[in-house]
Amino acid sequence: MSETRFSEAQIEAGRLLFARPFTFVKGCVSIADLPDPDRLEIAFAGRSNVGKSSLINALTGTTGLARTSNTPGRTQELNIFESMYAPLRIVDMPGYGYAKAPEKKVAQWTQLIHRYLTGRPNLRRVYVLIDGRHGPNANDVTVMNELDRAAVSYQIVVTKADKPTKADLEKALEKTRAAIAKRPAAHPELILTSSEKGTGIETLRSEIEQLLGQ
């Protein structure tokens, strides 16, 4: 299902990167709260309820590492995860586009996301999560526009790819491919995932491991 292919050696390297535990470090409500930029960072961005926490749990093989909820907008900070065995930091960003959250809170999240994306020197890549049932919406496009302007590398991860019919998934993928066409900061390949079934997780691990090796 994933559109990215790696060799067996690269897949094994990706598995080993996440074979030892990642732990929650802290939640950051401001840029000043962030750890020193002393290691490579990857961030996960996506609209509320797109499945960021579930994907992070599947990626790290740690049930409950990132809190999952059916309530949109639960992640309200930059949540930091690290492993003492790998020079890698994972940042789980607040979900965007949840209109029912208090307006002041949404404004705070938006500012925090903007300042993080445009000012973090060790941020190597942002994984922008797109719901496989729908494809990108206006909020997703706004985030991609900002990443392009800031020249921050990003790659689309399609979540919940097991939920739609094959035809509906293909429509969502066509919409997603069209949205990233000719975007300067977008990685050209999509990664299709299902946190429930484990689909695409080894590909995502391998992709991240390749970033460390660059």
DSSP string, 111-150: HHHHHHHHH-TTEEEEEEEEETTT---HHHHHHHHHHHHH
DSSP label at residue 47: B
Q: Is residue 207 part of a domain?
A: yes
Contact yes or no for 129/93 (Cβ under 8 A):
no
1 inside domain: no
Let me know if residue 2 belongs to a domain: no
Q: How many helices, marked H, and strands, marked E, lie in the chain?
A: 6, 7
- Determine, yes or no, domain membership for 48: yes
| Structural domain total, the chain | 1
What is the domain range of residue 177? 8-213
Residue 184 CB burial class (10 angstroms; 0-12, 13-18, ≥19): exposed
* One pLDDT digit (tens) per residue for the chain, 214 residues: 445 589 999 999 999 999 999 999 999 989 999 999 999 999 999 998 899 999 999 999 998 888 754 444 455 789 999 999 999 999 999 888 765 667 777 777 778 888 998 889 999 999 999 999 999 999 999 999 999 999 999 999 999 999 999 999 999 999 999 999 999 999 999 999 999 999 999 999 999 999 998 7
Strand partners, 82: 23, 89
